[in-house]
Amino acid sequence: MAKLDLHCNIDEDVFSLAVFLTRLLTGLVLLYITVGSLLFYREFLYNAAALGLPLPVPLGLTILVVELFLALLLILGWFTRPAALAAWMGTVIMGFIFFASDLNKIYVALLMLLAAALLPAAMLGPGKISLDYKHAVRRAQKSRRG
């Protein structure tokens, strides 16, 4: 049997567009979740206090603000890999507080879908349509001037 030498040709522009759309949609979902928690902030903070978290009001508000900024970082493509990992962890913590540690199967399934949506950005990077890419291009051009 002859050995096959197959290569996977990937169009980098289409790949970057796919990663951008994944980042954009995931960031919008995170914004939706965070704004929903902010709109129901009394229940959110009450649940944080009921769980026995230290300083529940400042801690709860900090978690919501951090999640808001992580969603914006994902949409913009700035610090994409750490933002994707931190956004997933932040969503787990925020959901744990929002549902008062009463995690049902649907919430766990949604967390797994969120993890699947964040994986391309976390593993493959932001792609060409991002601030990370623009910054890398500027750095490379600056080092070549020399």
Cβ atoms of 143 and 40 closer than 8 Å: no
Q: What is the pLDDT of residues 26-47, one digit of tens each?
A: 999 999 988 988 898 898 889 8
Provide the number of structural domains found in the chain: 1
Q: Give the pair of three-digit tokens for residue 33.
A: 């979740």
3 located within any domain: no
| pTM metric for this prediction | 0.83
Q: Which residues make Cβ contacts (< 8 Å) with residue 23, sequence separation at least 6?
A: 74, 75, 77, 80, 121, 126, 130
Residue 146 pLDDT: 59
Ordered DSSP codes for 72-127: HHHHHTSSHHHHHHHHHHHHHHHHHHHTTT---HHHHHHHHHHHHHHHHHHHH---
91 located within any domain: yes
User: What domain range is 91 assigned to?
Assistant: 16-145
29 located within any domain: yes
Looking at 39-43, 65-69, 103-107, 113-117, which range is the least confident one? 103-107
Q: What is the pLDDT of residues 65-78, one digit of tens each?
A: 999 999 999 999 99
106 located within any domain: yes
5 located within any domain: no
